[in-house]
Amino acid sequence: MNIGRRRWVFAAGCVPLVSTGTEPAFTSRDQFSVLNTGASVANVRIAVLYAGRAEVGPFRLGVAPRRVRQVRVNDLIFPVAVRLGEPYGLIFDSDVAVVVQCTRQDTGRPLGAGAMTNAWPLRCRA
Partner 1 sequence: MADTWRNWSGSVAFRPAVFAEPDCEDALASLLRETHRRGGTVRCVGAGHSASRILRCDDTLVSMKHLSGVIAVDRARCEATVRAGTELETLGEDLYEHDLALPNYGDVATQTIGGAIGTGTHGTGPAQQNLSQMMVGARMVLADGRILEIGRDDDDLLRAARVAMGTLGALSTVTLRLVPAFDVERREYATSTDATLANLDALNADNRSFDFYWYPRRDDIKLRLVNAVGGGTRRLPYARELTRQEGYGHKVIPTHSGIPHRFEECEYALPAAAGPACFREIQQRIIRCWRHVVGWRVLYRTVAADDADLSPAHGRETVTISLHQNHRLPWRAFFADIEPVFLAFEGRPHWGKKHRLRADALAPRYPRWRQFHRVRDRLDPHGTFLTPHLRRLLGITGP
Residue placing its CB nearer to partner 1 in the complex, 21 or 65: 21
**Smallest distance, Å, CB 122 to partner 1?**
28
Residue placing its CB nearer to partner 1 in the complex, 90 or 99: 90
**Smallest distance, Å, CB 89 to partner 1?**
17
Residue placing its CB nearer to partner 1 in the complex, 77 or 116: 77
The whole-angstrom separation of Cα 4 and Cα 34 is: 10
**Smallest distance, Å, CB 40 to partner 1?**
26
What are the CB-based long-range contacts (under 8 Å, 24+) for 105-108?
Answer: 105/26, 105/27, 105/28, 105/29, 105/31, 106/16, 106/28, 107/16, 107/18, 107/19, 107/20, 107/21, 107/26, 107/27, 107/28, 108/16, 108/17, 108/18, 108/19, 108/20, 108/28
Site residues (vs partner 1, CB under 8 A): 17, 22-24, 27, 72, 74-86
Residue placing its CB nearer to partner 1 in the complex, 15 or 91: 15
**Smallest distance, Å, CB 9 to partner 1?**
23
